[in-house]
Amino acid sequence: MLLDGRELAGYIKERHSRQVAAMPTKPNLAIVQSSDDPATASYIRVKSRYGRDIGATVKVYEVTMDRIRSQVEQLNEDPEVDGIIVQLPLPERSKTNEVTETVAPHKDVDGLHPHSQFTPATPMAILWLLAGYGVAVEGQRVTLVGKGRLVGAPLSKLLRQSGAKVTVCDSRTEDLPAATRAADIVVSATGRPGLIKPGMVKPGAVVVDAGSGESGGSIKGDVDPELQKDTTLKITPNPGGVGPMTVVALFENLLQAAQRPPAPGR
């Protein structure tokens, strides 16, 4: 079974459209961009299109790295802006934490600030995708490959809160295939194309590909395409699995932000 994120996202998109139509003012999302990478541009187009389709306002601010924090600070103070995201990866990746933590927590709809008022978009998307296809996580053995602060770390916390038995692996894990074969659910979020190969998951498992990395001039997922041929698995396509649901989760946070009372002093 394919865990089709596009199909599920379509249903939620209809709900978002109805919600926005009933709001007195359009939700306003600011996207701060500091990279001219083609993949970055593609991600921004998808978000801009989704916002347009549901009736939200999406504006992209293209700035250099030396101005990115001041741009975010201006948007923090703009009462017309409900949500802010910094499009990642940045050209200077070492500054990722510094920049994302400049976003005001009440506008951080990507959920990346340590004190963000929102659930991180990609982990939320993964849980929604599993729930949408009737995959229960309570009591299940989940092997999460990757412990990054954008996906792995917050997702492991959410999974444990949902009652899953979570094993987290990274590049230092001695026997990754053994860890993934022992799992009922495997989630990979490393950005290493083709990392999860046939033979690394047991028959009947659920496999969620939450990674994306460049290989051969194109963006590919963590899961080897050969795994898609295993008809015993419940597996996400990539693209078309977690990605569309991440956009949906981002706009779910934006709609919540737009309906909250103004922060004190703003």
Q: What is the CATH number of the domain that holds 149?
A: 3.40.50.720
Q: How many C-beta atoms surround the C-beta of residue 173 within 10 A?
A: 15
Residues 67 and 126 in one domain: no
Residues 104 and 133 in one domain: no
Residues 92 and 188 in one domain: no
Write out the catalytic residue numbers.
47, 87, 110
Domain with 166, as residue range(s), is: 121-235
Residues 188 and 254 in one domain: no
Residues 29 and 89 in one domain: yes
Angle at 93 between CA 172 and CA 170, to 5 degrees: 15
Residues 80 and 137 in one domain: no
pLDDT < 50 positions in the chain: 265-266
Residues 80 and 130 in one domain: no
- pLDDT computed for residue 176 by the predictor: 97
Quote the tokens at residue 90. 């940045």
Per the domain annotation, does 82 fall within a domain?
yes
pLDDT in tens, 144-153: 999 988 899 9
Per the domain annotation, does 37 fall within a domain?
yes
- pLDDT computed for residue 263 by the predictor: 53
- pLDDT computed for residue 175 by the predictor: 96
Per the domain annotation, does 7 fall within a domain?
no
Residues 78 and 136 in one domain: no
Report the candidate in 82, 119, 95, 154 with the shortest Cα–Cα distance to residue 250: 119
Residues 133 and 219 in one domain: yes
Per the domain annotation, does 3 fall within a domain?
no
Residues 106 and 141 in one domain: no
pLDDT in tens, 217-227: 777 899 999 99
Per the domain annotation, does 6 fall within a domain?
no
- pLDDT computed for residue 244 by the predictor: 95
**Quick check: helix, strand or coil at residue 200?**
coil
Per the domain annotation, does 206 fall within a domain?
yes
Residues 50 and 74 in one domain: yes
Residues 44 and 65 in one domain: yes
Per the domain annotation, does 228 fall within a domain?
yes
Per the domain annotation, does 9 fall within a domain?
no
- pLDDT computed for residue 264 by the predictor: 52
138-170 burial, b at 16+ Cβ within 10 Å, e below that, comes to eebbbbbbbbeebbbbbbbebbeebebbbbbbe
pLDDT in tens, 177-208: 999 999 999 999 998 999 999 999 999 999 99
- pLDDT computed for residue 265 by the predictor: 46
Provide the domain count of the chain: 2
